[in-house]
Amino acid sequence: MSRLKIKATTVVMMMLCLMYFITYVDRVNVSTAAGQFSSELGLSNTQLGFIFSAFAYPYMVFQFIGGWVSDRYGAKRTLIVCAFIWAAATVLTGMAGGFLSLVAARMLLGLGEGATFPASTSAMAAWVSKDKRGFAQGITHAAARLGNACAPLIVAALMTAYDWRFSFYLLGALSFGWVVLWYVTYTEKPADHPRITPQELAALPAPKPRRVDAPGTYMRLFRRMLPVSSVYFCYNWILWLMLSWIPMYFMHNYHLNIKDAVLFTSGVFFAGVVGDLLGGMISDKLLRRTGNVRLARSYLVAVCMACTGLSLIPVLLFQEPLYSLIFLAMALFFNEMTVGPMWAVPMDIASDRAGTASGIMNGTAATATIISPVLAGYLIDVTGNWTLPFLISIGVLAFGVLMTFTMKPQNAFVADEKSPSQNFETFEPKDAIAK
């Protein structure tokens, strides 16, 4: 029976995967429900764009705050508070009566989910070995994309059986349930977990004492992460264009009914699940075989981003729903392949400040989640052209490819200039260690 017991490290990763899944269902359910509540509440595409992006304003701010809080007070307490807020926001979305109340509920959701990914990265820095960081980030984000793919199916089924409001009530209850599970399964330090084994502890990074930062440390880390944040901005641009508008794109550009549009949307998002898994696995495999952090992170991201942009070109040229499904799925697949290596970079650069570093990256890049949906809605209202936002995205991705060469994940952030060797992390491939 002892062989059937799940490892403590696996339980933690399963809980994080479940959290990523739930947060993204709660995050994108509004785009599927919009087909019903937009007509009920008399909303324009521009107003829908503001509703989609309202999430991002507090989300962006609390990335920075939440990353620091999780490093300072721990991922357990941070995520418990966050989950309560986003669960309540999901329920309140179902109670909304118009444009302003929908915007307010979405902003509260952004407040609750703002610290989740930085806090998770802080937890992974303690619970995941250095050569598995890409996979850990890849599999958790794959769970998020699975949430993207399942959300249209779940929400459409609930709307058909009941109405759009009930779908938000049920999803809010699911979020409250996660809080209880997280409380009983996670410990801040791996050594404190009642089921941790000596073998698991030996493979994990040695715990690092939290020192008081010297004045100016945060701004130095912010500047160090700025190239990384710029690349992630470009990733977020195309991601949130798809998360916000893909269901409406299939419904209005090709005049599909909601059931067919949901199936096409889910097909696109399922491709992202595979991309997340493969991107993290390939990144870690390159790191183990070559020991070259820049190759495993920066160069891999550059190739995947270029492939994302190339995949969008046929969407502009061939106005057929099946072609759009295939090439949008390819675009999301390659875009999601960047996630594992990108979220591993903050841990590579500042492992003892992984929450803060990832919060800076995701918070700065969250500006794309504000601009992209609103700009797309405005362009669609003004021009009636549903493919124009994809053309702009190709230019954004080209900029992202160029910026990947400035990330330099092999250069670790040194907080104490008097003793840089204490904070510099290196990784050697297995062959080199054996020699």
Average pLDDT of the residues in 260-275: 84
Q: Is 378 exposed, middle or buried (0-12, 13-18, 19+ CB in 10 A)?
A: middle
As a whole number of Å, the end-to-end CA separation of the chain is 39
pLDDT the model gives residue 312:
93
Average pLDDT over residues 225-246: 90
**The pLDDT of residue 213:** 64
- Look at residues 381, 359, 130 and name the one whose alpha carbon lies nearest to residue 252: 381
CA distance 237 to 268: 16
Compute CA 310 distance to the chain's CA centroid, rounded to the nearest angstrom: 22
Residue 431: burial class (beta carbons within 10 Å; 0-12, 13-18, 19+): exposed
pLDDT digits (tens, 9 = 90+) for 361-398: 988 888 888 788 888 888 888 888 888 888 999 999 99
pLDDT score for 350: 82
Map residue 287 onto helix, strand or coil.
Answer: helix
The per-residue b/e assignment along 233-263, b for 16 or more CB within 10 angstroms, e otherwise, is bbbbbbbbbbbbbbbbbbbbbbebebeebbe
pLDDT of amino acid 405 = 93
Computed over every residue of the chain, the mean pLDDT equals: 83
Q: Is the pLDDT of residue 411 over 50?
A: yes
- For each of the domains in the chain, give its residue range(s) and CATH number, in order of start: 2-188+217-434 (1.20.1250.20)
Of 188-192, 301-305, 349-353, 414-418, give the lowest mean pLDDT range: 414-418
pLDDT per position as a tens digit, 152-185: 778 878 887 888 888 888 888 999 999 999 998 8
State how far the Cα of 395 lies from the Cα of 237, in Å rounded to an integer.
Answer: 11
CA-CA distances (angstroms) from residue 229 to 77, 142, 222, 316, 367?
26, 21, 9, 28, 10
Give the pLDDT confidence score for residue 426 in this predicted structure.
Answer: 42
Which DSSP letter does residue 423 get? Answer: T
Is residue 431 over pLDDT 60?
no
Instruction: Report the pLDDT value the prediction gives residue 252, as an integer from 0 to 100.
Output: 78
- Predicted local confidence at residue 394, as pLDDT: 94
Question: Are the beta carbons of 343 and 137 closer than 8 angstroms?
Answer: yes
Give CA–CA dist 369/52, Å, rounded.
9
Measure CA 123 to chain center: 15
Whether 268 contacts 238, CB under 8 Å: no
Residue recorded with tokens 């907080």: 415
Residue 32 pLDDT: 75
Reading the block at residue 100, the tokens are: 């302003």
- Tell me the residue type at 188: E
- The answer to whether the beta carbons of residues 27 and 150 sit under 8 Å apart is no
Digit-coded pLDDT (tens) for 65-78: 877 788 788 888 99
